[in-house]
Amino acid sequence: MKTQIEEQEIVTLTDQGIREVEGSPLWNDDLRPTTKQEHNWSGYNFSALWIGMCICIPTYTLASGMIGLGMNWWQAIGTIFLGNLIIMIPILLNAHAGTKFGIPYPVFARLWFGSKGAHIPALARAIVAAGWFGINAWFGGGALDALITAFYRGWDHVPMHTGIVFLLFWGLNMYIAYRGPQAIRKLGAFSAPILAVLAVALLIWAFTTAGGWGPMLSSPSKFQTTGEFMKVFWPSLTGVISFWATLALNIPDFCRYAASQKSQARAQLLSMPTTMALFSFIGVAVTSATVVIFGKAIWDPVQLLTKFPPVVVLIGAIGIVLASVTINVGANLVAPARAIENLWPRRITFGIGAIITGMIAIAMQPWYILENFGNYIFGWLGTYGALLGPIDGIAIADYWLVRRRRMHLVELYKPNGRYSYSSGFNKSGVFALVIGMVASLLGLVVPGLSFLWDNAWTVGLFVAILAYWWMMKNDSSGLTEMEYTAITEIRHPLELEEAEVPV
């Protein structure tokens, strides 16, 4: 009996397939595979999503840390562009699985860790995302606080005024997230053009007001030798890669709605690396101009906003709020909400998972973390890169090398199905994760091997790929081409065209 249909590289369940698992404790309306009608995200939607997520305060300030470490402007921007091209590879590889089979990240993780073990990578990604959510909510709240202060001078004397606005902004994020990923698509389509225009306007203001780019773009690199540069380049590159290492894992949460493989891949490849590099350049250039205009470098756009008249503050605050909401809901709420939902699918919905994520973000105290923002960005990014790199590697090895892009959708929702392994845990996935992490950690404890930690994400990724593939290459959970054909009704384009012609 056919339980799934493959049509133009997109697989959906048949009515028979749905009937087999719709009563399963691993199934609910948010975690089920998407239907053919729900594959409605165009290339523009993905471009808008990435533009909205990239135009954010952490991107704006990303190059600042590298310049502070001694790079010149083009070395910093080049490092950012290269890092984003590298992370785009696992993003696109994992996006293929989400697009083809219409499954979210926690369900995808059942393939590599088992029906119960999937909580390990899902919650690992969720904790990181919750931290980022709190940080961006704090930034967005700061922009609103500056806006209110600009129009009401007595506001800064109100006790806990920043905390009050932070909670209001947090609530706005919760409202949008509660409405689900389709609301995020609409938000991205609306905010991306506005954010792009505001970014260009800020760049024009900086150039015309300062009479040029200022001293930073003319400052030479502080490194005298290639060796000196490489000591800073490698950990910086790892930080850039880790910046989107979270999205490399849960990109199926969005690509499960893609209309086609070609549209999502092309849109993501063109939009993300270029937007990150361009917006980082705007951050460097505008900050360079502030040295000339205000006599000091102002890297924080919220602080820069306070230097303008109230009308400009209003426009700028709208931009920062849109940027913070877009990246927060898109990049930092979907994955943890899905992970929490996956803990108890029959009771916890996506909306409830989003609210729990928001509570965790507050508990992580973003105001305290941001007291040392530079160490947070580069130190913490590198640290969780050592955790997420191996998980990325396991996901890629499983889908492309072990299963060869074939899976049995119905079995993903059975507690004792093909992908439950031993008591719900795939020990090969757990072992590969540990091996990948240990390989990076050796760089912290063994003299002469520091390059392993400086490149923690990359090292963990490749070590985990090899370890997982070696342990799983002959595993019985894999589908042969004959087994896949037996459960899948494959519809070819020619057959579809003939079916649409009226008789």
User: Which residue did the predictor score with more confidence, 326 or 292?
Assistant: 292
Dist CA 126 CA 234 (whole Å) = 26
Average pLDDT of the segment spanning 451-458: 87
Question: 21 CB contacts (<8 Å, ≥6 apart)?
Answer: 27, 410, 413, 414
DSSP E strands in 374-494: the ranges are 488-491
Average pLDDT of the segment spanning 161-181: 83
Question: 196 CB contacts (<8 Å, ≥6 apart)?
Answer: 51, 55
pLDDT at position 13 is 97
H/E segment holding residue 11 = strand 10-13
pLDDT at position 371 is 66
Average pLDDT of the segment spanning 286-306: 80
Dist CA 70 CA 477 (whole Å) = 51
Would you say residue 485 has pLDDT above 90?
yes
pLDDT at position 36 is 94
Residue 63, token pair as written in the block: 């190059």
Find the DSSP H helices in 11-56: 15-21, 43-54
How far out from the chain centre does Cα 26 lie?
24
pLDDT at position 503 is 44
User: Which residue did the predictor score with more confidence, 498 or 280?
Assistant: 280
Q: Give the mean pLDDT of the chain.
A: 86
Would you say residue 430 has pLDDT above 80?
yes
Structural domains in the chain? 4-35+43-100+126-383 (1.10.4160.10)
> Is residue 253 classed exposed, middle or buried when 0-12, 13-18 and 19+ CB atoms within 10 A define those classes?
buried
pLDDT at position 143 is 77
Q: CB atoms < 10 A from the CB of 213, how many?
A: 18
pLDDT at position 372 is 56
Would you say residue 393 has pLDDT above 70?
yes
Would you say residue 375 has pLDDT above 70?
no
**Can you spell out the DSSP letters for 156-182?**
GGSTTHHHHHHHHHHHHHHHHHHT-HH
Dist CA 118 CA 146 (whole Å) = 42
Considering 54-68, 385-399, 444-458, the range whose residues carry the highest mean pLDDT is: 385-399
Dist CA 147 CA 496 (whole Å) = 55
Would you say residue 44 has pLDDT above 70?
yes
Tokens 């105290």 -> residue: 365
What Å distances lie between residue 244 and 84, 205, 251, 273, CA to CA?
A: 8, 30, 10, 11
Instruction: Give percent above pLDDT 70 in the chain.
Output: 92
CA proximity to 304, closest of 192, 150, 169, 155: 150
Dist CA 429 CA 409 (whole Å) = 20
pLDDT at position 304 is 82
State phi, psi for 162 to the nearest 5 degrees: -65, -40
pLDDT at position 128 is 79
What Å distances lie between residue 97 and 65, 245, 261, 268, 407, CA to CA?
A: 35, 17, 10, 15, 10
Would you say residue 156 has pLDDT above 50?
yes
Confidence of residue 269 (pLDDT cuts 50, 70, 90): very high
Report the chain's terminal Cα–Cα distance, integer Å: 29
Would you say residue 338 has pLDDT above 80?
no
Average pLDDT of the segment spanning 170-178: 83
